[in-house]
């Protein structure tokens, strides 16, 4: 259950990027900072056989005094909150097209997921399970969560972890963004999800930004408004917190790679505030 709850966020925080240098690690300096910090784009989850942590990330981790995550999902207090909020939504399919609901039921059954599961957990958990299936791991029990793996690094051991958001905020955001129509749009193309996900994972771990952009656009099913709420609005909110955090001590800021790039991405927003943000290529 713990892994299921944590993985709820993986799909919604997946990579969607524009053309940039082929790296997911960026150095933050200037604007009076005494020591440089780092910005790192994560994929959040991957099969154990695909997962790797670049040496340059470990080097950066050794230079900082703390880690910043969107939410520390291993924090016992956060897990308790998440579990308490993971309740089914009885109105999720209210007034929904019966024909589309039949498609959802059919695909669910084909994936060995009972349609009654919606009476037990919120729809975002169901989508999380479907997303995990799309990774087609050789060992489904060996799924790596990048934020957890970062915390395990010897270079970050015993260093404090700061959070940009609360679990309540993320859960409420996902509940407001994700509707029955979104689930239908995801499931009607579910046969192509495994191949697309594998391509995305390969692009991510090779830091092929152009391929990540293309694949992410093909896999995107949120409305433009939902996309903005998921990325741009949260980026702006984080930029109200990051300057204070960066001023206190050098940090490794690890967030979904989607948040790094584009005109409203953290790289551009940090530069607009006067920071020097440079790619770490090796």
pLDDT for 14: 41
Q: Which residues are within 8 A (CB) of 31 and not within 5 positions of it... i.e. 6 or more apart?
A: 273, 274, 275, 276
Q: Report which of residues 96 and 192 the model is more confident about.
A: 96
d(CA 180, CA 97): 9
Least confident of 22-36, 83-97, 205-219, 247-261: 205-219
pLDDT for 132: 87
User: What is the percent of the chain where pLDDT is above 70?
Assistant: 88
pLDDT band at 226 (very low <50, low <70, confident <90, very high): confident
d(CA 118, CA 228): 27
pLDDT for 55: 95
Least confident of 24-33, 103-112, 160-169, 217-226: 217-226
Q: Report which of residues 179 and 29 the model is more confident about.
A: 29
Strands 67-69 and 252-256 come out as: parallel
d(CA 15, CA 148): 18
Question: Taking Cα atoms as reference points, which of 51, 11, 43, 46 lies closest to residue 24?
Answer: 43
Burial 206-240 (b: 16+ CB within 10 A, else e): ebebebbbebbeebebbeeebeeebbbebbeebbe
d(CA 18, CA 204): 13
Q: What is the mean pLDDT of residues 80-90?
A: 87
Q: What is the mean pLDDT of residues 219-247?
A: 87
pLDDT (tens digit, 9 = 90+) per residue, 91-104? 999 999 999 999 99
Cβ–Cβ under 8 Å, residues 70 and 13: yes
pLDDT band at 212 (very low <50, low <70, confident <90, very high): low
Least confident of 100-104, 153-157, 215-219: 215-219
Query: Which ranges of 54-137 does DSSP label H, i.e. alpha helix?
Result: 55-63, 76-85, 98-110, 123-134
pLDDT (tens digit, 9 = 90+) per residue, 160-171? 999 999 999 988
The mean pLDDT value of the chain amounts to 86
Least confident of 195-209, 212-226, 232-246: 212-226
Crossing angle of helices 123-134 and 2-12, in 10° steps, is 80
pLDDT for 218: 65
pTM, full prediction: 0.86
Cβ–Cβ under 8 Å, residues 16 and 213: yes
């Amino acid at each position: 259950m713990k892994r299921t709850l944590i993985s709820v966020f993986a799909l919604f925080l997946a990579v969607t990027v524009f053309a940039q240098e082929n790296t997911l690690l960026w150095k933050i300096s200037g604007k009076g900072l005494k020591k440089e910090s780092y910005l790192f784009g994560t994929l959040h989850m991957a099969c154990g056989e695909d997962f790797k942590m670049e040496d340059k990330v470990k080097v950066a981790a050794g230079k900082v005094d703390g880690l910043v995550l969107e939410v520390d999902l291993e924090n016992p207090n956060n897990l308790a909150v998440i579990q308490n909020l993971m309740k089914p939504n009885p109105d999720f399919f209210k007034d929904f097209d019966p024909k589309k609901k039949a498609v959802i039921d059919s695909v669910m059954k084909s994936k060995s997921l009972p349609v009654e599961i919606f009476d037990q957990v919120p729809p975002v958990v169901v989508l999380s399970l479907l997303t995990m299936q799309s990774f087609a791991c050789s060992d489904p029990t060996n799924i790596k969560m990048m934020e957890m793996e970062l915390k395990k690094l010897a270079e970050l051991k015993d260093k404090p972890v700061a959070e940009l958001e609360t679990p309540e905020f993320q859960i409420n955001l996902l509940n407001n963004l994700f509707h029955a129509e979104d689930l239908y749009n995801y499931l009607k193309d579910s046969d192509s999800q495994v191949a697309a996900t594998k391509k995305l994972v390969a692009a991510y771990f090779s830091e092929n930004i152009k391929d990540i952009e293309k694949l992410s656009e093909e896999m995107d099913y949120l409305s433009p408004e939902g996309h903005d709420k998921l990325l741009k609005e949260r980026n702006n909110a984080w930029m109200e917190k990051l300057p204070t955090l960066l001023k206190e001590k050098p940090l490794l800021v690890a967030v979904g790679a989607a948040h790094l790039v584009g005109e409203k991405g953290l790289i551009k927003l940090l530069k607009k505030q006067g920071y020097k943000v440079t790619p770490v290529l090796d």
